[in-house]
Structure formats: C-alpha cells, structure tokens
Chain A
Amino acid sequence: MTEVSSQVLSDSQGTATVFAGDYLNKLSGERIERECRAKLNAGYREIIVDFSGTELVNSIGISILMGVIDAASGIGAKVVFAEPNPMTTELFDMLGLTRHVEIRA
C-alpha cells in the first residue's frame, strides 16, 4: 500500500502539504486525517491537501476531509484544497465544504 506522503513546504510559514492520492476513498484513507492531525499538533497552522493525484472523491473521502476541517477549525488553523479537478470542486461546493476551506486551483 502506498504510504500517505506529506511534505513540509516551508517551516517558517507553518504550512504542511498532504497528498490525498487515490486512497482517500477507503477506510484506509483515515490515515490522511491522522496525518493532518499530527501536523496540526506539531504546530502547523496551514494544511494543504493536494488533490493533483486524485481523480474522484467519494463519500468516504468527503467524510475524512470533513474530519480534517473539523480538526483544523478546532484550533483556528486553515485548510486549503489544492488542485482539485472541476468535478471534485463542484462536489465540494455542493456539499458546502467550500465554506470551510480555500480552493486553490
């Protein structure tokens, strides 16, 4: 199984990037949420979830992403969804996730 990869873009800015990949849509996708929580606990105040490698997000994926939003909002951190494709963007919009995150094309 592919490891959840995360990378710290810039320490000074307190931003961490987590790749959603294609494992977001299964129970194992909970690892992405754990990864984000770990970053938040480590003091990062901006989490970028990168969707460049994600073709489709299903309901499990949405639920996991809402877990990320919930964790971030609890401590006043910011969540950015980067490079989701148009269909995914539309879904985020439809379900109201865009109210809680910034979408970066």
Chain B
Amino acid sequence: MKLQEMRSTNFSRFAAERNKLVHTFGALAEIGQEVSNKHNFQETVRTSLHLVLGSLGIMRGGVVRYTRFEHELNMVSARGLGDDFPFGMSLCYEDERQFLANGLYPIECDQARVLPFFQVYDRSLERAKIELFVPLVVRDELLGGIFLGEKASGEQYTSHDKEIICAMGRHIGVAISQRNLMAELERRADENRRLYDDLKMTYKDTVKAFAAAIDRKDKYTEGHSVRVGKYSEAIARELGWGEEEIEGAAFAGYLHDIGKITVERKIINAPYRINAKESTELNKHPGAGYEILQPIRHPYAGVPLAAKYHHERLDGRGYPDGLYDREIPYIAKVVNLADAFDAMTSDRPYRRRRSAQEVFEDLQRNSGKQFAPELVTALLRGVIRELSGESKDKTFRKMLGREYMESEGLMPMVRTALNELAPTTPLTFVAHK
C-alpha cells in the first residue's frame, strides 16, 4: 500500500473513532445535564435511558428503582422489553449483598446464574434478550439497576462500552438518590406538619377546657371567657390580621381571666358590688393569670401578657401596673376592649346589661381613655358588617342574641359612633397597574 493510501485509511479510521467519541460523550454530557436540571423524575429517567441506549446502539433496556422496604426492583422506564417483562422483581438478601459488593459495574447475566435473582428471573431476562444488568450502587447504597439488551451491531460489549455505561449509570443513580431524598424530606415535612397540627389541637382543646373551667367557677358571668375570645377574634379579623394571629387573639381572650381560679369563689360569685378588700383580692387575678400562663410554651406569643395587662387603660388608670398607652402590649388592648364590651353587654348579678345605645355611647366616650380608638373602630365595623349582611360571620348575633342585634335603630347608632370616632378616612395610595 502506498504511503498516501495508508495515510488516508488511517485518517478515516481516526475520523470514525472521533465521531463515535463525540457521539458518546455528547450523551454523557446530556445525561449529566438532565439529572442536574431536576425535571420530573420519570422524564429524567426516560431521557437517561434513551441516552444510554442511543449512545452505544443498544436495542432494548430498562431502568428499575430499588425499594429497600419491599426488597423490590420496580420498573421506572423500559424500552423494547415487551409487555410480559415483570414490573416488580424481588431481591433476596444474598442478591443485595452481591450487588453491593459488585458496585456500579455491568454484570453479564449469563455469568451470574449463581445468584438467586438471575435464577428466579431467568426466563424473563432471556425472553427480553437481556445481556447486562448494572446495579446502581452510589455511595454504598443500592438504588436501582439498568437492564441492557443486545447491541444493534450484534457485537459484544467492550470494556470501553462498560466504562461508558458505568459513568451514565452513576448519573441515573444520583437521580434516583435525589428522588429518594426528596420523598424522604416530603415525608418528614408531612410528619412535622401533622405533629404540629396535633400539638395545636391539643393546645386548643386544653385552652377551651380551661376557659370552660373559669366560666363555671364564675357562675354569674357564665360564658364570659368564651365570649371575650370570640370578640377578640372578631376585632383581630377586622384589623386584617393573619389567620394565626387571629387564632392567637382568640386564645388570649379565652385565657385572660384564668387567674380567677386562684380567687376565692365567694368573691367572684358575690351577688353584690364587692367591697374594697374583696376588690383588692379580685384585682390580683391578672398577675396570677400571668404566673399560670407564663411557663407554658404557647404557639401564639402574647397570651400571658394579655392576661397580665387586660385591665390596663390607655390613660394609665388601670391595674395592676398603671401602664400608659404605648406601654400596654397590643394584644392586651384588644382583650381589654373585648372584656369591657362583654361586661357591658351581659347581665351581672347586681345589674342588667346595658342598652345598645348606652354601650355604643360608652365605647365612644372611653375611646382614647380606656380603649385604643382604632380597636373601637374595628369592633364597630365588625358589628356593622354583620348587621348589613356584608359579612357572613355571626359572632355578634350569637354572642349578643337576636333581640339585641335587632334592637331598633342599632345600625344608625353604630354608624354615628363610628363616624364620630373616625370623621375622616385616611387616603390609601393605590399604585396604578
């Protein structure tokens, strides 16, 4: 052969080799990209299988995922294996041990007949003309496997082919591992959420039981704690608070008088206006409530503070500490208004409840003195929205009774009170779209 011809033959062989390499490495690069792109897991595996088969011209194959609990290989994606190829294949302990020992390297099925797995599935593997099984072992964990059929060229798999298969298999293994990790994270997040919900439920039940206990002790103000909880909730809702905060306001209301369980029953239940000494005793209930609630870890901040300061007034004439406006925790102001509103609108042993007119005048008069004006506004707005039917909520109707809510002229009365409290509406800037 002339030198010229030899050169040209060598060159074309070299070019063919180069093209083959470019083709295989293209597939390898793509599989890496596919796995790191984190699409849908099924699609990632399907694409990866195409890439493995296409890179070496393998006629058929499948990717299975190992589930450790069931000791089963489950088909994720298959091509050309036929309908009767098993979807799930079980592994015994010995199979798993051997696969782990083998690591991520293609096993020739003919030469692995000693393993129970290849004995059990012999017929299926033969029918699908499977030549190689690649255990997907990544970081000493069996994650799945790849079944590979014959090459389109009819040639044997070379060691070079097997290296390529290993490299691609590692990527697929990583994809499965990522998927498992995600599933585990989701499961744990779910579990945590459930645990948290359970705790919250327990807390809710406990709080309600406590509220009922307080209310039972104070027989003339039966249902007071529950109502204060409901009013606090309604005020918080009108203020536009988030659902968790609204719930927190309700609990602060339910528990505000918990300190009363330390006060003598005869003082609480006195069917007359109590004297100074008894009054001093009764006035200890906010501090006592705080002592009870403070050591408990509440899901809502401010519950103990609401109990401690629910008798404080904006003008500093409240108790126990005589705090002024800004010094009073906000939640305590909410509960204070709800508490006062219930005191005015429910019967007491020594007096009937006040008329609607008196109540709304009182709220107006004491706004800025005892009550935070914006809270009074929120409460009145809540009543109006319920009266007008704008809100489907029936808190006030349920708590105050139909008779009260339907008393004559209630709507204009509340409207007047609201307007006098807030004669101007601050402008809200709305950005143009």
User: Interface of A with B (CB < 8 Å)?
Assistant: 27, 58-64, 66-67, 69-70, 87, 90-91, 94-97, 99-100
Interface of A is mostly: helix
Residues of chain A within 8 A (CB-CB) of B50 are 27, 59-60, 63-64
Contact A96 B16 (CB under 8 A): no
Q: CA–CA, A99 to B150, complex, Å?
A: 13
Contact of B23 with A91 in the complex, beta carbons under 8 Å: yes
Pick from B19, B20, B23 the residue with the most CB of A within 10 Å: B23
- Whether B27 lies near A95 (C-beta < 8 A) is no
Is the Cβ of B19 less than 8 Å from the Cβ of A60?
A: no
Distance in angstroms from A93 CB to nearest chain B CB is 8
Q: Which of B26, B57, B154 has the most chain A CB within a 10 Å cutoff?
A: B57
Instruction: Return the contact of A27 from the options B26, B43, B54 (Cβ within 8 A).
Output: B43
Of all chain A residues, which has the CB nearest B31?
Answer: A59
Interfacial chain B residues near A100, Cβ < 8 Å:
152
The total of interchain contacts (Cβ-Cβ below 8 angstroms) comes to 81
Q: Which residues of B contact A99 (CB under 8 A)?
A: 152-154
Once A95-B56, A96-B155 are accepted as A-B contacts, the answer to whether A59 and B19 lie under 8 Å apart by CB is no
A62, B24: Cα distance in complex, Å: 11
| Secondary structure type dominating chain B contacts | helix
Chain B interface residue count, Cβ-Cβ cutoff 8 angstroms: 30
What is the CA–CA distance of A75 and B55 in the complex, to the nearest angstrom?
26
Report Cα–Cα, A63/B52, bound state, in Å: 8
A62 touches B19 (CB 8 A): no
Residues of B within 8 A of A (CB): 16, 19-20, 23-24, 26-27, 30, 43, 46-47, 49-60, 79-80, 151-155
CB pair B47–A97 under 8 Å, yes or no, is no
Contact between chains at A27 and B46 (CB < 8 Å): yes
Report the bound CA distance from A94 to B55 in whole Å.
Answer: 11
- Structural contact, B47 and A66, CB atoms closer than 8 A: no
Among A61, A64, A70, max chain B CB count under 10 A is at A70
Q: What residues of chain B lie closer than 8 Å to A69, measured between beta carbons?
A: 59, 152
User: Which residues on B sit within 8 Å (CB–CB) of A70?
Assistant: 59-60, 80
Chain A residues lying within 8 Å of B154, measured Cβ to Cβ, are 96, 99
Q: Which residues of A contact B56 (CB under 8 A)?
A: 95
| In the bound complex, CA of A59 to CA of B51 (Å) | 5
Identify the closest chain A residue to B39 (Cβ): A27
Q: List 11 A-B contacts (CB under 8 A).
A: A27-B46, A59-B50, A66-B58, A66-B59, A66-B80, A69-B152, A70-B80, A90-B16, A94-B23, A97-B57, A100-B152
Q: How far is the CB of A69 from chain B (nearest CB, A)?
A: 8
Question: Cβ of A97: which chain B residues have Cβ within 8 Å of it?
Answer: 57, 152
Contacts of A87 in B (CB 8 A): 19
Contact B30 A91 (CB under 8 A): no
User: What's the Cα separation between A62 and B19 when bound, in Å?
Assistant: 14
Q: Which residues of B contact A67 (CB under 8 A)?
A: 79-80
Chain A residues lying within 8 Å of B24, measured Cβ to Cβ, are 59
Closest residue of chain A to B61, judged by CB?
A63
Question: A66: which B residues are within 8 A, CB to CB?
Answer: 53-54, 57-60, 79-80, 152
With a cutoff of 8 Å between Cβ atoms, the chain A residues found around residue B49 in the complex are 63
Given A59-B27, A60-B47, A63-B79, A94 contacting B20 (CB threshold 8 A): yes
Cα separation A14 to B238 with both chains bound (whole Å): 75
- Cβ-defined contact, B80 with A60, below 8 A: no
**Could you tell me the distance in whole angstroms from the C-beta of B360 to the nearest C-beta in chain A?**
66
Inter-chain contact A59/B151, CB cutoff 8 Å = no
A90 CA / B17 CA spacing, docked (Å): 11
Task: Compute how far the CA of A67 lies from the CA of B53 in the bound complex, rounded to whole angstroms.
Answer: 10
Q: Does B54 lie within 8 Å of A60, measured CB to CB?
A: yes
The one of A63, A90, A91 that contacts B51, using a Cβ cutoff of 8 Å: A63
Smallest CB-CB separation from B55: which chain A residue? A59
Known: A60-B30, A64-B50; 8 extra A-B contacts, CB below 8 A, are A27-B43, A27-B46, A27-B50, A60-B51, A62-B57, A63-B79, A66-B59, A67-B79
List of A residues within 8 angstroms of B79 by Cβ: 63, 66-67
Q: Which residue of A lies closest to B53 (CB)?
A: A63
Say whether A58 contacts B27, CB under 8 Å. yes
Shortest C-beta distance, A96 to chain B (Å), equals 3
Residues on B with beta carbons closer than 8 Å to the beta carbon of A60? 30, 47, 50-51, 54
Complex interface: chain B residues within 8 A of A62 (CB): 53-55, 57
A61 to B54, CA, bound (A): 7
How far apart are A51's CB and chain B's nearest CB, in angstroms? 16
A59 contacts across to B, CB distance below 8 A: 23-24, 26-27, 30, 50-55
| Alpha-carbon distance A71/B60, docked complex (angstroms) | 11
Residues of A within 8 A of B80 (CB): 66-67, 70
- In the complex, the answer to whether B151 meets A96 with C-beta atoms within 8 Å is yes
**Residue of A at shortest CB range from B26?**
A58
